[in-house]
Structure 1
């Protein structure tokens, strides 16, 4: 799907996230580097979309543009039909690094964004405790981050993002530094939270199995320059259980995505 056509105005307005002909270039010394080239993508409300591709294909650049951390060199990125002009409370961003405050407890970390927003203390506590329960950290609500495993810290970061009630979650390889078993468990917990809370999710990953297990659709990107190579519908039932992961249908879908990523 390289060189995807520009979207119609109707599509742009209907989509929760709309990326329309986005190009992003960087200058490195005397060299001009094209990170994204004419990328167009539409994501519906409450859809879970994963983006997979080789290093240097512009996955993180695309996410940063949607987060308002980068500006496109050309084209447009819209949320609810409105151009992205910077970070906003409608978009929660979760990176591979946990970015927790080490001197605050799990509960206080989750409450932090609510406190900044001026939410009263009692409501902060109730909302924080609710999302701590959603990610399975109730027993550790008063613990400091140093007492948590890597997977638990990432669950705390997810709870903090959920607590401020963003309509969109932008996740850049949030499980990339974790061991395989922890990663699988967090994938299942993330889907359980998504099913319960319903957010629009854009999830960046290098892992094909992860991309297939989580998504309604997998966006396969190609590098040099970064562009959309294929969009693959994942016709697997939710909830995504271990039984689904071990099924022939999952294996076939994984192989299809793998071939798209590695045989471009």
Structure 2
């Protein structure tokens, strides 16, 4: 079967203060349909650039991204994007925020209400459907953003540090909530994070990127069964994979790599 997403030799360069800045260099990766991958790497290694190319928000300098064999040129409802910032409309209720994309698509009202109610229930916000964002916690706002992305029925979710601004306890809760949502309504997920434990806990595979310019450094399978739970975080196998990912990222950090002895 063809991959759901295929990065083929993607490179991105920019002009920065009069100099050429290369964010990605010949990045290639295939992502299967329904797979949940996480992407980690040193700060500035091109993780967000890679996601923006996949989202169609940025054109690569070289190479291409394919979705089901079709080249990506611009944004599409089939690719839902969730950023660290919640990007909710503060004057709209949860229900109205989730319905926003459906309103633009002119989905008929009865069908729109059915979809919105299902997505709000999917993320556990039914009791808060008529609340404004200012009445929600950070985790609830992010759940609303996830529901809004799900509402337009994307085949792919692209998530850039979505839990980065949350406190530790809320972050763990949101990880479990996201996996529960994914189990009930599977999508192909590309999830960027700086948190190694989060990367291992969520993913089928962890993608480790090399320091700038961003390249694929290592792909680490996560052979832990779903559903996952807190007990699994304490297992010997979880810690073994976590240490493998940590070491891969650690030795890609420029300041550390520069001090490492030659191989």
Q: Give the structure-1-normalised TM-score.
A: 0.94
How far apart are the structure 2 equivalents of 1:127 and 1:253? 38
1:4-54: CA deviations, max 9, x gaps? xxxxxxxxx811000011110011122111100010000000000000011
CA RMSD of aligned residues (A): 0.8
Residue 30 of structure 2: which of 25, 36, 42 is its match? 42
Match of 1:163 among 151, 155, 160: 151
> What secondary structure is seen at the aligned counterpart in 1 of 2:163?
coil
1:224 aligns with 2:212: yes
Residue 98 (str. 1) matches residue 101 (str. 2):
no
User: Equivalent residue of 1:187, what SS?
Assistant: helix
Other-structure match for 1:82: 70
SS of match in other structure, 2:165 = coil
* 2:96 equivalent to 1:108: yes
State the distance in 2 between where 1:153 and 1:87 align: 23
SS in 2 for 1:178: coil
Structure 1 residue 135: deviation in Å?
0.5
Alignment of 1:30 with 2:28, yes or no, is: no
Alpha-carbon distance in 2 for matches of 1:121, 1:87: 25
Task: State how far apart, in whole Å, the 1-side matches of 2:203 and 2:249 are.
Answer: 16
- Worse overlay, 126-135 or 86-95: 126-135
Q: Map 1:184-203 to 2 at 5 A.
A: 184-203=172-191
What is the Cα deviation at residue 225 of structure 1?
1.2
Deviation at 1:224, TM superposition (A): 2.1
SS of match in other structure, 2:85: coil
Partner of 1:214: 202
Q: Is residue 123 of structure 2 the alignment partner of residue 127 of structure 1?
A: no
Distance 2:17 2:193 in 1: 29
CA displacement at 1:181 relative to structure 2: 0.5
TM-score normalised by structure 2 residue count:
0.94
**Consecutive unaligned residues in structure 2, runs of 5 or more:** 253-263
Q: Report deviation, 1:223.
A: 1.4
Q: Determine the C-alpha separation between the residues in 2 that align with 1:91 and 1:169.
A: 6
Q: Which residue of 1 aligns with 2:250?
A: 262
The within-5 A match list for 1:237-248 is: 237-248=225-236
The separation in 1 between residues aligned to 2:147 and 2:177, in whole angstroms, is 11
Determine the structure 2 residue equivalent to 1:8. none
1:3 maps to what in 2?
A: none
Report the counterpart of residue 6 of structure 1 in structure 2.
none
In 2, Cα distance between equivalents of 1:128 and 1:240: 27
Residue 66 of structure 1 aligns to a residue whose secondary structure is helix
Q: What SS does the aligned partner of 1:252 have?
A: helix
- 1:229, 1:149 → 2: CA distance? 37
